[in-house]
Amino acid sequence: MSAMRKAVLAMGLLLLAGRAPAQPAPAASASVPAATPAIAGWDAFVERLRQLGPKMLDRLPPELRSDPQVQQEVGRLMLESLSVGSLAAISGDPDRPVFLPALNQTINVSQPNADTVYKRATITPGGTYRLRGRIGNIRMARVGQMSVNPAKPGSEVHGYLDLKTLPRDKSGRFDVVLSPARPAGWRGSWYQLDPQASTLVVRFVASDWEHERDPTLAIERLDAPATRPRVPAAVLEQRLRRLPDAVDATALMFIDHVSKLFAEGYVNRLKVFDVSQIGGQLTGQFYYEGGYDLADDEALVVEAKVPAKCLYYSMILTNPIYETTDWVNNQSSLNDSQLHVDPDGVLRVVISARDPGVANWLDTAGYAKGVVQGRWTECSAQPVPSARKVKLSELATVLPAATPRVTSAERERILRDRRAAFQQRTLW
């Protein structure tokens, strides 16, 4: 056998055995390769993120700060805050805007209302924009215009456009221009923008999740070319460098809100929630809230006389760091379409960890402490409900005899239908 054939045979045997023949070491490079360049702004962004966790924990009382469960939930809140800021940094182009998710069941910051789809678009102050879409049959469809005033906390609201007031064709389509002054030659619907407005915020509120249909909505800037050129590196870097400020503001805004309510003594009782210092609130909406602190065998019974006229009302729960308690997989929110009002016109809601077997139950979902928050929107009265803590075993003596009851099998069906109906809304 020749030397060549022996070498080929040896290599074949090595390959069949799953072993690769040894390779000669590469020759030393004649020159050292250049270091990989850094992405301008990225390291500063990462360093700011590293500092955020301690800032958030420092705002909590010691018993929460040292709780491993709460620590991880603070980590989740950091991710949620980063998500909303990142979406705007990636796609927040005021010349080619798009309505991006702002708050929802995943971006669960600043206690979003369970019935509201929140979206926002960045715009250029003084620009001319066009909104088109179908109105649907939703309870409320509002577009607010806002700006940031460095001298004031939160956002300054310059008004809300009610999409349901716009003219529309037989298919339910609307078409409206938004600008500081009506464009020359435009004879269609027009809504005046404040020259300082830099953000449009959408609030789509549905009570009957199964049957109400959210609007569709498109936005474009008319006084800019339709196409978008490659985004300059300087603009991308600027967005990256500004992102930490936005993330910090979102993550820190309300993390200690529940602790402050408890410190003020609003435990198992309610008060008016003053949102005037926050900005962004919906016109005509009145809020109330208070902390709850319940043992496993206790319940908080909340009662209020329902106003004679009301466009919308609801009640939600939050956890100790002011995330809205998971309302998709738990009955931790109820609205005017889902709530039962007793024959005497009084709304009675039971808040507890264990299912009390009544229709108007809000599930604390594992949080012994949190917040009860409600809202009356465009109502003829704005009552602050009463609240009293009772033993679950005492509920039969506290609630009317005719209180609607729910079996465990019925609750299972309600929860599954509730989740399916919510997921079919236009959430993203």
Residues above pLDDT 90, as percent of the chain: 86
> Is 14 part of a structural domain of the chain?
no
- Residue 403's domain comprises 257-423
Q: Is the pLDDT confidence value at 408 over 70?
A: yes
Pair 178, 298 in one domain: no
Q: How confident is the model at residue 150 (pLDDT cuts 50, 70, 90)?
A: low
pLDDT in tens, 274-317: 776 565 567 789 999 999 999 999 999 999 999 999 999 999 99
The reply to whether 149 and 271 lie within a common domain is no
Same domain, 187 and 290: no
Asked, for residue 22, whether it belongs to a domain, the answer is: no
Assigned domain for 151 exists:
yes
Residue 194 lies in a domain: yes
pLDDT above 50 for 4: no
Q: 150-156 contacts: CB < 8 A, separation 24 or more?
A: 152/279, 153/277, 153/278, 153/279, 154/277, 154/278, 154/279, 154/280, 155/199, 155/279, 155/280, 156/196, 156/279
Is 266 found in the same domain as 226? no
- Considering the chain, what percentage of its residues have pLDDT values greater than 70? 89
pLDDT of 149: 72
Helix axes 233-253, 42-58, angle to 10 degrees: 0
Residue 31 falls inside a structural domain: no
Instruction: Give pLDDT, residue 282.
Output: 75
Q: Is residue 5 part of a domain?
A: no
**Within 10 Å of residue 103's Cβ, how many Cβ atoms?**
23
pLDDT of 61 higher than 50:
yes
pLDDT of residue 124: 97
Mean pLDDT value of segment 32-52: 88
Identify residue 214 by its one-letter amino acid code.
Answer: D
What mean pLDDT is reported for the chain?
91
* pLDDT, average across residues 368-391: 97
pLDDT of residue 9: 41
Between residues 27 and 328, which one has the greater pLDDT?
A: 328
261 and 249, same structural domain?
no
Looking at residue 11, its pLDDT comes to 40
At 281 the pLDDT is 67
The domain total for the chain is 2
151-156 mean pLDDT: 70
Q: What is the pTM of this model?
A: 0.89
Q: Give me the pLDDT at residue 17, please.
A: 43
144-153, 235-244, 320-329, range with the lowest pLDDT: 144-153
User: How confident is the model over 218-233, as pLDDT tens digits?
Assistant: 999 999 999 999 999 9
Q: What is the pLDDT of residues 171-230, one digit of tens each?
A: 999 999 999 999 999 999 999 999 999 999 999 999 999 999 999 999 999 999 999 999
Q: Are residues 244 and 288 part of one domain?
A: no
β strands within 195-273, DSSP E: 199-205, 218-221, 271-272
Q: Is the pLDDT of residue 15 over 60?
A: no
The residue among 225, 253, 281 that closes a domain is: 253
Whole-number pLDDT of residue 7: 45
- Which candidate, 320, 258, 244, places its Cα nearest to that of 49? 244
- For residue 241, is pLDDT > 70? yes
- Do 200 and 121 meet the contact criterion of CB atoms below 8 Å apart? yes
Do 280 and 183 sit in the same domain of this protein? no
CB 412 within 8 A of CB 175: no
Mean pLDDT of 364-384: 97
Look at residue 274 in the predicted model and tell me its pLDDT: 78
Regarding whether 67 and 112 lie in a shared domain, the answer is yes
pLDDT digits (tens, 9 = 90+) for 343-370: 999 999 999 999 999 999 999 999 999 9
The arithmetic mean of pLDDT across residues 83-107, rounded, is 95
C-beta separation of 208 from 140 below 8 A: no
User: What single string gives the DSSP state of each residue in 55-106?
Assistant: HHHHTS-HHHHT-HHHHHHHHHHHHHHHHHHHHHHHH--TTS---EEEESSS
Residues 242 and 265 in one domain: no
Q: Which of 253, 270, 286 is the last residue of a domain?
A: 253
Of the residues 253, 272, 298, the one at which a domain ends: 253
Tokens 């715009």, residue located: 123
Residue 31 has pLDDT above 90, yes or no: no
Q: What is the CATH number of the domain that holds 336?
A: 2.60.120.1600
- Look at residue 26 and tell me whether its pLDDT is greater than 60: no
Q: What is the pLDDT of residue 268?
A: 98
b/e sequence 327-352, b meaning 16+ C-beta within 10 Å: bbebbbbbbbbbbeebeeeebbbbbb
- pLDDT of 19 reads 46
Residue 314 lies in a domain: yes
Supply the pLDDT for residue 283.
77
Instruction: Say yes or no: 54 and 106 in one domain.
Output: yes
Let me know whether 85 and 213 are in one domain: yes
Q: Does residue 240 sit in the same domain as residue 124?
A: yes
Question: For residue 374, what is the enclosing H or E element?
Answer: strand 369-379
* 155 located within any domain: yes
